Amino acid sequence: MTDFLGDVLNPYNLQVVMLIAINCLLGLSVWVPLSAGQLSLGGAGFMSLGAYTAALLSMQAGWSMPLAILAGALGAAFVAFLLGYPTLRLQGVYLAIATLAFGEMVRILALNLRITNGALGLAGIPQMVDEVSWYLWDNTSLGSSMGPWDPHTVASLIMVGLLYLILGLAVYCLLRQASSRVGRALRAIQADELAAKAMGVDTRYYKLLVFTQSGFLAGLAGGIYAHLYYFIGPGDFGFNRAIEMLLYVVLGGMQTLWGTLVGAAALTTLPELLRFSASYRLMAYGSLLVLLMTFRPEGLLSAATVERLSFRSRRRRAATAPPREGAA
């Protein structure tokens, strides 16, 4: 039993589990504006802002990690708000391109600024897991325990719990928002922006709102990412990252928030599961994505599936029903 636990709880597995939570947050940061019909590809840029801000605050200003991460998220949200203003008039692919360009700007800035240490990136970022495990080492008897329960594993498990608590909180807030007056306004904008305006929805306000929320989520994920990995560099937040984030939403199913979570989990795990195919790994990954889009264009988890799985009473569901499958 202890051997089995030791196998399951190895640092590599725990790392993947934590990465899933981070990627879920990133997926949500794309899903939120998309739920109001806004396709933003600036996520990697906001993640980068959050990561660098948090890392620099904890490394150089000596802030405590949770505070630094929160500051990174708020900073990214603020920049998202500022970026939202001039891009409000853009729609569809134009918005996508403008936000993508923003992401590239952030990357190039990180590549050239002294404070971000250019292409070398920031190394030696304080690690949350290390901190917790030192604390456990000093203050509990775990340090002398045998088997799987060494301080580092326990600290990792605590971090896993904490990350999923944060993710759960984000999901809870977004679900509450979706089934409220605000969520209805967002769906109205997504369905028909002109009609939404005519029905009294201040579309500018809500676009800024989803943009800011998106920046916050991506910045939060970035800050956490920086404090789970020893190192961040400009290359971590490039074009690939932006596309990956979009893939979580599209492949997972963008009709509901749950699809994004499934997509992020699946696309984070998949490359790891494909490691056996060695040098064919990325080819296999790509082929699977193509097959998925061919045979399940609505994504892994469609709204219809969610409805079938949902146990809420019909009447209640009708009041707040998300858009259903096969939408015209």
Nearest to 53 by CA among 118, 101, 122, 105: 122
Shortest distance, position 88 Cβ to another protein, whole Å: 12
Q: Are 224 and 69 in contact (CB under 8 A)?
A: yes
Choice between 275 and 314, CB closer to another protein: 314
* Angle (CA) 90 25 44, round 5°: 50
Residue count of the chain, please give it: 328
Q: Closest distance between another protein and the C-beta of residue 47, in Å?
A: 22
Considering beta carbons, is residue 15 or 190 the nearer one to another protein? 190
H or E stretch at 232: strand 231-232
- In 3-state terms the chain splits into helix, strand, coil percentages (rounded to 5) of 75, 0, 25
b/e per residue, 309-327, with b = 16+ CB within 10 A? eeeeeeeeeeeeebeeeee
User: Shortest gap between Cβ of 304 and another protein (angstroms)?
Assistant: 12
Provide the 8-state DSSP code for 233.
-
As a whole number of Å, the end-to-end CA separation of the chain is 53
From 155, 211, 158, 202, select the one nearest 182 (Cα to Cα): 202
The CB-of-322 to another protein minimum distance in angstroms stands at 9
Which is closer to another protein, CB of 119 or CB of 191?
191
> In the Cβ-directed half-sphere of 33, how many Cα atoms lie within 13 Å?
33
Q: Which is nearer to another protein, 110 or 303 (CB)?
A: 303
Nearer to another protein, 183 or 223 (CB): 183
Q: Could you give the count of Cα atoms lying within 13 Å of 110 in the half-sphere of its Cβ?
A: 29
Cβ burial of 34 (10 Å; 0-12, 13-18, 19+) is: buried
Residue number, 290 or 327, with CB nearest to another protein: 327
Contact positions vs another protein (CB under 8 A): 172-173, 176-177, 179-185, 187-188, 191-192, 194-204, 209, 314, 318-321, 323-324, 327-328
Of 89 and 204, nearer to another protein (C-beta) is: 204
Closer CB to another protein, 36 or 100, in the complex: 36
Distances (CA, A) of 285 to 238, 261, 278, 315: 20, 19, 11, 41
- Cα pseudo-dihedral 225, 67, 24, 149, rounded to 10: 70
Extract the tokens encoding 36.
């109001």
